[in-house]
Each structure stands twice: as structure tokens, then as C-alpha cells.
A and B are shown apart, each in its own frame.
Chain A
Amino acid sequence: MSQAAHTDAEQAAVQAPVKRSSRWKEWSGILKRDKRPLVGIVILLLFMLSAAFAPLLTPYNPSATQFTPLAAPSWHHWLGTTASGQDVWSQFLYGGRISLSVGFFAGFIATALAVILGMLPSYLGGWIDTTMATFTNIMLVIPGLPLLIVITAYVHQTGPVTIALVIGLTGWAWGARILRSQTLSLSRRDFVIASRLSGETQWRVLTGEILPNMLSLVVANLVFATIAAILAEASLEFLGLGNPSVVTWGTMLYWADTGQALLNGAWWWIVPPGLAIALVGLSLSLINFGVDQVSNPRLRLNKVKAARKPRKGAPS
């Protein structure tokens, strides 16, 4: 028991400066104990900076077709060239711009919709809530990618903006469901009831009391929606449903596949864009480990528990 008391004291000591003083301190406390979110932030920043400063990192135009086709990586072409003689490294940098923008833009739309469609009806209650919850559940179970394929097939000329809009408008269901149940549980708490009784308008209660208390869930949703959006965008473009003349990581893979990159052994054309998508996804998931610990303090105890375990005589 003294063991448990000891760890509790430790826990209290760790959390004492956190309190409700400031979010920044809470964050830095989490980052101190768990390096994963930090690694995620670094990876993501690397990709964002290299995309932003693409002109400084490569002298070539990503669409220029002036080089020897299918050349292996060399000093002049760090990642080799494509079948039509484009520089893969510059395509990779410039492609990141659009892929990342589409991902974040679509993720943002999906999250904004999730907040509105999840919070508002559940707070209003009644038939609006029942209808909306059913609608959300239906959207949740209808498979996303086939729906996206069908929509983009009808909309001809799908540029990055259209793709981002379509992904954002179809990808809100999961977030709405989570935020709905959180709103339901929060709106029965005392502080919300108190503020309602003190005469706050419904709008104030929602934005001033309920929303700030589930901000970390909103951020977690933004992270996941962005991962899903980047993957969905790449999938659609890989299938040739995007605008193939726009350079993105997805269209790079489309051209690599139609250009028989693998049968020519041009791994340098296939590996970078896919790896970039996977690494960005990984970095966002790593960041989400940190966000999770803000929203669910129970997860923060993990390290303490893990340290306690061996002393208890770990079952093996």
C-alpha cells in the first residue's frame, strides 16, 4: 500500500504545477514525459518546411521534362528522374505543397462540420438530435472511398480544391459521433447547468462552456481527419481521378504506375511519395498521442503503472 501511496504522491507532485494554471504548462509537462509527440512535430515540420521552401531546395521545375528519362538517383538528381524525364526530388517537394494543403484543408472542413453537426443537434435535443444521430450513423457505415470514387467520377475535371471539398464534406461522421456523445455528457454536468440557469444564451453555453472542454477531442479529430484526407486524396489521384497534370504525391504515384516504374526497376520514383504520405500520417498519429493525454489523463498514468509492474512480480 505504501507503494501505491508513494506513486500517488509522485503523481500529485508531477501534476501539481499543471493544475488548471495554463494549457502551455500542461502540454510541456506531457512532452517532457513522452517524446513521441515531439518526434511527430519535428517530422511534420520537416515536411511542411521542405514543401514551403521548395524553390530553395531544388533548381528544377517539377513539370520540366528535359532530363534523361528513368535515370537512377545521382548527384544531379537526388531521387532520379521519371519516365518522361522529370526530376523526382523537385516533384516530391512541390507535390508536398498540394498534398499537405489538401489534407489539412479537407481535415479542417471535416472537423468544422463534425463540431457543428455533432454539437448543435445533441445540445438542442429532441427529434433534431434523433434524426441527426441516425444520419451520422448512416454516413459512418457507408464506405468512404467508394463514395468518393463515385462522386469524383461524376464531377469531371477534379482539381485539388474539388477533391479537398469532396473529402471534407463526406468525412465528418466519425468526429460528429464522438463529439455528440461528449456534448451529451458535458451538457448534464453542473457547470453547464449552472451557466444555463444564470441566464447565458444557448450560443454562449455551447461556445463558452461546452466547446472549450472538448477542445482536445476536436484537435484529435482534426489530426485523424487530416490523415484520412491525405490518404484519400492520394488514393483518388492514384486511380487517375484527380487532375493528372497537377504535381502531387498522389499523381506522382499515378504516373509511376502508368509509366511502369516498377517493371523498369525505378524504385526511386515509387518509394518517395508513398513514404512521404506514410511518414506524414505517422507524424500526425504521434502528435495525437500527446493530444490523447490531454483529453484522457488516465493515459498519462501509463508510465507510472509500467514502472510499478515489475516490482509486483510481473507475470511472464
Chain B
Amino acid sequence: MRFILRRLGFLLLSLWAAATINFVLPRLMPGNPAILMIGRFKGQISPKALHALELQFGVTNTPLWSQYLTYLNHLVHGQWGLSLTYYPVPVSRIIAQSLPWTLGLVGVATVLSVFIGVMLGIFTAWHRGGKWDAILPTMSTFTAALPYFWLALILLYLLGYLWHWFPMAHAYSSTLTPAFTLPFISNMLYHAVLPALTIVISSIGGWLLGMRNNMVQTLGEDYVLFGEARGLKSNRLMFQYAARNAILPSMTGFAMAIGFVVGGALLTEVVFSYPGLGYQLLAAVQNEDYPLMQGLFLIIAFSVLVANFLVELLYGKLDPRTRGGASQ
């Protein structure tokens, strides 16, 4: 229970930090960039919205702390301002529309990549020194260094443009309307194959390498040798004895890994014009739509932080040592 509370405390602290970064950044920049943006939109939007923008980005005479309190208050109450690109649509509605696409894409791709990567890691460690142990880790070192967007472009070119196996852009065919019907869902999955494949290929290497190294260490432990001497079946030895312990250190790297994957997924969305957070983020940046950009950054950070929190809880459940509390 104390463990959960401590993790929850850290979650809240990091959520607050992400929100504060959002508040501080535009005010920190030399010659508040928001002034330019507001100048550009003068006359195009209602005076009330203009005033709200000025408040949101600190183009006002109120003291900083009161701006900050107002900002936090609005944030907590879901008032994230109006998007300028899609004026007068609220930022929160755009987020609500694009978040499911990114969550689905990143979620499914990450689960697949972790599962396949860990399995291959177990496999190569078990057959260490063999043929696959020479090929797979070297290959994953290479795929881990591939830029996401470049891999996306190459897959798009080969599988989309040259061979016509998969559609080249968007999340579903424009002729369909989103609905819970079989044709729509299959069409949606069909469109998601290439983006998901990009994310899986780029992120799988890290899981494979990490798992292989941990597994090689675990396989050298005495209890594994003893299990082998007792004549346990290979499968039992591999999964129940070695892999179960070897998987734990992999999970501590999750914090950084998920950040990388989300960053890569945003780029992948841009390449495939996939209507998720990354695609909207780029549109917001290009149009200097700071309210939308801030909102998107916050929701991306929040999602990553919550995902991390859930994994930490799972980790605490799997490894009693982390629940201890005394040591960091």
C-alpha cells in the first residue's frame, strides 16, 4: 500500500511538472513568441477569445503567480482553450478525437513488440553462441538505430507504393464512416498495419537485446544449473526458472523505452497521415497554434506518465524487492 501511495505521489508530481513546463516555456523564451501569434490572429477571432489567449500565454500585467494559479485551475477543469487551426473548436475536443488513434496504435504495437522481442531474447539467450545468437542481436542493433520516420517512408514506398499491399495514408478509407461494423473495423486494421509494423520493427531490438543479456546472466545462476541437473524439462527451465527472473530488469527500462516509442509513433503518424496526436501536433506547430500544441504536449506527457505508473505497479507486483521502500 505504501508502495502504491509513493508511486501515486510521483505520478502526481511528474504530472504537475509536465503542466508547469507548459506554463513556463512560452514565458521563458526571449520575446514571448505568443505575442507574435496573437498579433497574427487579431481580427480573425472574437475579442473574448483573444483576451483568453493573452491570459493563457502571459501577455498581461497580472503577476506571474496569479497567472499560474489561473492556468492550473483551467487545466484541472478541462478548459484547455480554443484551437486556432480549427477555430473555434476547443482543444479538448481535438484531443478527444485524435487520442484513441494514437493510444490504439502505440498500445497494440508496443504489446506486440515487447512480446515478440522478449520471446526472441529468450530464444537467442537459450541458444547462445549459436547461429541465431549471431544474427538476431546484430540485426536488432541495426533496427534500433533506424530513424522511425525513415523506416516508415521505406515501408510506405515498398509495401504501399511499389507493391500496393497496403494503403498509403489515413486511418480508414474516406468512403467509410466510422462505425462498429465489421467492414469498418477490418478497413481500419488494414490501414493500421504499416504504421504498427514501423513501430514494432524499430522498437523490438531494444527488448530483444535487453532480454537476451539479462537471460544470459540468469542462465549462469546456480539454481538454473541445479534445475538442469534435476532433469527439468527445457520449457520449464526456460520460462519458469530463467525468463521469469530475467524479465524484471527489462521492465525498469520501460520508462525510457515508452518515451522513445511514443516519440517515434508521432513521427510515424506524420508519415502515414494517421489522424492521431502526432499528426495534430505537427499541424499545430506548423500553424503556430500554441493552445493546441500545449494541449497535445500535455496529453502525450500525461499518457506516458500514466503508462509508466501502471507498469511500475505491475513491476511492484512481480518483484517484491521494489516494494521494500527503504532504498531508492
Contact = CB atoms under 8 A, between A and B. Distances in A.
Interface of A: 133-134, 137-138, 140-147, 149-151, 153-156, 174, 227, 231, 234-235, 238-241, 253, 256-257, 262-263, 265, 267, 270-271, 273-274, 277-282, 284-286, 298-299, 302, 305-307, 309-310, 314-316
A279 B150 CA distance: 13
Given A286-B141, A309-B129, A146 B301 contact: yes
Which label, helix, strand, loop or mixed, suits the secondary structure of the B interface? helix
Contacts of B217: 298
A153 B293 contact: yes
12 contacts: A137-B10, A140-B255, A146-B297, A149-B281, A150-B22, A150-B297, A174-B256, A235-B267, A256-B153, A271-B154, A273-B150, A306-B133
Interface in B25-60: 25-26, 29, 33
Most buried by A among B26, B127, B129: B129
B105 interface: no
Interface in B243-297: 255-256, 258-260, 262-264, 266-267, 270-271, 281-282, 285-286, 288, 290, 293-294, 296-297
Contact of B256 (A140, A263, A273): A140
Interface in B124-177: 126-129, 133, 141-142, 144-151, 153-154, 156-157, 161
Shortest Cβ-Cβ A-B pairs, 6 listed: A281-B145, A145-B263, A306-B129, A274-B150, A143-B259, A153-B285
Given A137-B14, A141-B259, A235-B149, 7 more contacts: A149-B285, A153-B285, A153-B290, A274-B147, A282-B145, A299-B213, A309-B129
A141 B255 contact: yes
A256 to B, nearest CB: 8
A315 B237 contact: yes
Nearest to B11: A141
Contacts of A146: 262-263, 266, 281, 296-297, 300-301
A144 B263 contact: yes
Contacts of A298: 217
Given A150-B297, A307-B129, A227 B161 contact: no
Interface in B182-218: 213, 216-217
Nearest to B308: A141
B320 interface: no
B300 A143 contact: yes
Contacts of A278: 142, 145-147, 150
B18 A133 contact: no
B62 interface: no
A138 B17 contact: yes
B129 A234 contact: no
A273 B150 CA distance: 9
Contacts of A271: 154
A277 to B, nearest CB: 5
A274 B153 contact: yes
Given A134-B13, A315-B228, A277 B147 contact: yes
A133 B13 CA distance: 13
B21 interface: yes
B234 interface: yes
A273 to B, nearest CB: 8
A95 B107 CA distance: 35
A142 B301 contact: yes
B318 to A, nearest CB: 19
B305 interface: yes
B172 to A, nearest CB: 21
